[in-house]
Chain A
Amino acid sequence: AQTVTQSQPEMSVQEAETVTLSCTYDTSENNYYLFWYKQPPSRQMILVIRQEAYKQQNATENRFSVNFQKAAKSFSLKISDSQLGDTAMYFCAFMKGSQGGKLIFGQGTELSVKP
């Protein structure tokens, strides 16, 4: 069975600084997707970034980037130039296969961006 672990329950960062959230996962699959979802206080789940396991290049979306280390089964999220609106719970998630299927979530990291 696949598992996802986020070892940082809470983190804080000053506005405009950079922060990295950690995620590790365990799987015997070779084909899978990894995601970071953001859940602000409104509780809406919002996709931040995705990574296909077969791609070696790390995904980037504006201020958000990942460090995907397939051999180490590590998938960290870097937020650059942190903004107050980045304050939220961040969930790392794993999906097996290439088409469809359930997400397996980590426990979440609560990020606070301080002015």
Chain B
Amino acid sequence: DAGVIQSPRHEVTEMGQEVTLRCKPISGHDYLFWYRQTMMRGLELLIYFNNNVPIDDSGMPEDRFSAKMPNASFSTLKIQPSEPRDSAVYFCASNSPGQSYNEQFFGPGTRLTVL
């Protein structure tokens, strides 16, 4: 398996623009997580899905952020409009707890820079 795939790997955009981050989980995994990593706040969960249904979105910072999982093999995280404080590394992770003893498998991350 190719592992969790994220695209793009790097994104540079200007304040006010829409940004869409993409994630393909490992095939067969029924949980998908979006995390954000910043120097100030460390690694924090934004939202997670189980069987494509959002379970906990309490970490989504504000209405500018939205996430979808239209099917088991694809998820998006959208920021509209983007702001400089959104600059961070965004990780997608997936797992199937019964198979992996709750290990979460992380993608390579998307480094977002908002100018």
Chain A residues with CB under 8 Å of chain B are: 33, 35, 42-47, 50, 52, 91, 95, 98-108
> A43-B108, A47-B103 known; A99 and B91 CB under 8 Å?
no
Within residues 13 to 71 of chain B, which ones have a CB less than 8 A from any CB in chain A?
A: 31, 33, 35, 42-45, 48, 50, 56, 59
> A99-B97, A102-B45 known; A44 and B108 CB under 8 Å?
yes
Report the minimal beta-carbon distance from B86 to chain A, rounded to whole angstroms: 18
Chain B residues positioned under 8 Å from A43 (CB to CB): 89, 108-109
Within the assembled complex, what's the spacing in Å between the Cα atoms of A43 and B44? Answer: 15
Chain B residues with CB under 8 Å of chain A are: 31, 33, 35, 42-45, 48, 50, 56, 59, 89, 91, 93, 95, 97-98, 101-104, 106, 108-109
Chain A residues positioned under 8 Å from B45 (CB to CB): 102-104
> A33-B102, A95-B102 known; A102 and B33 CB under 8 Å?
yes
Sample 16 A-B pairs with CB under 8 A, ordered by A number.
Answer: A35-B103, A42-B108, A44-B108, A47-B103, A50-B101, A50-B102, A52-B101, A95-B102, A98-B97, A99-B97, A100-B95, A102-B45, A102-B56, A103-B35, A104-B45, A107-B42
